[in-house]
Structure 1
């Protein structure tokens, strides 16, 4: 089982990778047709909002006491899964 610091480190690394995917989508939006650009920009805005939520939850998780960590981890994992699905869905939509 992963320890707390390893888990947090893995989540930070994955957030950076997904941030790069969002940046890639942003670059694609600049080159897309007007309709595709509007759709892509809406998706990017939603992804950024979810990313900000996940980053806040990760920050809360990092500063949580050992007792609170387990319960916060569950909420974080739910937000994480939703964000992960959204990133992959947006990426596949425009591949």
Structure 2
């Protein structure tokens, strides 16, 4: 998946694209791999990953130099689930 042309200049779109790419990588991915997959410059990817990590949307594993989806993504997913009543339906 690469970033669509209309989102190439949209920083939010770029950050969301990185989150989607990370969601497709259960073992995580390096910044270089993500930059290549997203079609973004490494410096932009690295900067966005730093912001996403700081805010808890992405976790960084220093040993393997890999990024993973963070707990904040799960928390937001839970809120969506609650909003749509999925938890009540399951019970």
Instruction: Work out whether the TM-score is over 0.5.
Output: no
TM-score (norm 1): 0.26
| Structure with higher strand content | 2
TM-score (norm 2): 0.27
Structure index of larger Rg:
1
